[in-house]
Amino acid sequence: MPLKRLQAFLPSGIPCATELVKWVRFDSSEAFLKINQVTGFDCQSCAWPSPDKKRKIFEFCENGAKAVSDESTKKRVGVDFFAKYSIAGLAAQSDYWLNQQGRLTSPMARHANATHYQPITWPAAFTMIAEELNRLDSPNQACFYTSGKTTNEPAFLLQLFARQFGPTKGNRST
């Protein structure tokens, strides 16, 4: 790296790298070499430009690094986690702490007056969703939302479902 480029990188690059180390899980480090690469995959967190040629090794932003790290973690949150932590206890935790616990292993539901989330089966989860949607007076009362971490394919499928259900509006966080 030429000296001028190194001097420009150091003031902003070191604090940024230090912050990323707090969020990034090293079990996902191999995936970082594939983000927005010709033989890799597009970042699911943003619309980072992907030129056809001359791509850089690290062609993604902080949010992209967080999203890939989250998606590729091997940490799992099982039923025992939700037996241990109440809903109020989870609400008291930071987003960072919650995110570091891992990915869900089954659908969870909060039943009336419950203090803890309970596991349910996928058929039960889909039945619960269908019952709630069918209770609406109009399809226009429904709102469908996907996270900025949702990849394009699942977001597109939800959009198709929402349009078939009725409302043409939907939100996607960025």
166 vs 84: which has the higher pLDDT: 84
Residues 133, 106 contacting (CB under 8 angstroms): no
Confidence band (pLDDT; 50, 70, 90) for 38? Answer: confident
171/29 Cα distance (integer angstroms):
31
Of the chain, the percentage scoring pLDDT greater than 90 comes to 28
For the chain, give the mean pLDDT: 77
111/118 Cα distance (integer angstroms):
8
Which of 23-27, 50-54, 109-113, 159-163 has maximum average pLDDT? Answer: 109-113
Lowest-pLDDT range of 57-61, 119-123, 140-144, 166-170: 166-170
pLDDT tens digits, 62-112: 777 777 777 777 889 999 999 999 999 999 999 889 988 988 888 999 999
How far is CA 85 from each of CA 63, 77, 88, 107, 159, rounded to the nearest angstrom?
A: 28, 11, 8, 16, 33
Q: Residue 142: which of 159, 120, 124 has the closest Cα? A: 159
166 vs 15: which has the higher pLDDT: 166
Residue 14 pLDDT more than 60? no
Residues 107, 125 contacting (CB under 8 angstroms): yes
